[in-house]
Amino acid sequence: MTSEHDAVGGADFRLIFESVPGLFMVLLPDLTIAAASDAYLRATLADRAQVVGRHLFDVFPDNPGNEAADGVANLRSSLQRVIQSRVPDIMALQRYDVPLPDGDGFEERYWSPSNYPVLDQYGQLLYIIHRAEDVTDYALIKKERDELKRGVDQAEQEWSMQADDTAGGTRHLHALNRALKLEILARNKLEDDNSELTEQLKHNIEQLEASNKELESFSYSVSHDLRAPLRAIDGFARILEEDIADQLDVEARRKLQVIRDNVRNMGRLIEALLEYSRLGRKELSASPVDMTMIARTGFETVLAEFSKLHPTHNVNLHLDELPAAQGDVPLLRQVWFNLLANACKFSVNNPEASIWISGEQCEDRLIYRIRDNGAGFDMRYQTKLFGMFQRLHRLSEFEGIGAGLAIAQRILMRHGGQIEAQGIVGEGATFTFSLPLSMRSPA
């Protein structure tokens, strides 16, 4: 039963991946192609059966008809950086022609590619996610516009060189006329291209907004509907525990407890997913925020809950006066609570645990820092910190479900802010987030 369920789950995941609208390809560390989305295959004129299982550069070689082709060299260098550093690598706009399906030549293409590592719990590289954006239309329009501009410049130069030659008056007029015609052509072409790109951009933004709303609605509905069966499982397990406790041996009671513990943990995961989904639906209310006050009250709330689990452990707070901000007070309070809870949790093994909070205004941004002397983290896994349900430590070491930092990041991004982290294993971590000086009230 379990193996059959796992197989179906794996097949479903494969179908979901292949159907995503983005251009994605999955590579093994030896650069063998493991999977590709349908959109990627359409964009590269490739067929899945002829791609999966083959080496990347056997499927997508350089165009031999382009002497300046450097797509393979640049992509190989980027992938090697990912393999060696275990961190994402964003490439510059790149010309990389794709083979025609009939094998008769190549089609000129331009891409904006990036590569991302997928690591196991021990930090070993399992896969590389290659993501691409097809920017061919933009690149060709820019190329054509540059050629037109060069034509205009050349015609103007010819006219200028002949300007002092009174005997060549007719030639002057012809050169000037040619320059003016080319400039008009270039301007008309530029206006048409800009209009087309604007419409395409508007369409893409509308599609993205619609997709985001659908995804948020789906996440909310699924999470909400999952709670009812969980309550039933927990309820019946409790009934069994109470009604036939005297008929159960120690091992049976332990298994019932495992069921209830896992149900409660699943409940916490669902609540976190619901909260994350609500953040995309909630209207923001802009008002002045006393960051010093909510940082202090946030710490007091965290410490009160922390002390219930660790009554003998104390955490010292060093709080500087913080610059006031503007934003949604309940949501920014949640940011402070999540970051301070994270700092307290990972400082539990330090008998002299301390948290330092500071802030400053830097040009048009407000900067806030939360530093602790706790467990810290390996910077190789920095990109996983803000992923939903991502954990860098085992559950047996530190409690939690891996949602707090993801929620904090999403709140800050909705405010036009950013967050980043620095850490050293065994020495602590520093989380730095920024907010704009002012926030527009929603319409």
The structure tokens listed for 9 are 């789950």
What one-letter code names the amino acid at 178? Answer: R
Fold for the domain defined by 13-134:
Beta-Lactamase (3.30.450)
Phi/psi of residue 288, nearest 5 degrees: -65, 140
13-134 and 283-436: identical CATH topology: no
Beta bridge partners of 289: 325
Q: Where are the domains of the chain?
A: 13-134, 136-281, 283-436
pTM, to two decimals: 0.46
What class, spelled out in words, does domain 283-436 have in CATH?
alpha beta
Per-residue pLDDT of the chain (443 residues; tens, 9 = 90+): 344 444 444 456 778 888 888 899 999 999 999 999 999 999 999 999 889 999 999 999 999 999 999 999 999 999 999 998 888 888 988 999 999 988 889 999 999 999 999 887 777 889 999 999 888 887 777 777 766 666 656 655 655 555 555 445 555 555 556 666 666 666 666 666 666 667 766 776 666 666 666 656 655 565 566 667 777 777 877 887 778 777 878 888 788 887 877 777 666 666 656 666 666 656 777 889 999 999 999 999 888 887 877 777 788 899 999 999 998 888 898 899 889 988 988 888 888 889 999 999 988 899 999 999 988 887 776 767 777 656 555 555 556 556 778 888 888 888 888 888 888 888 899 999 999 987 654 43
Rg (CA), the chain: 29
Report the candidate in 316, 324, 322 with the shortest Cα–Cα distance to residue 356: 316
DSSP assignment of 19-33: H-SSEEEEE-TT-BE
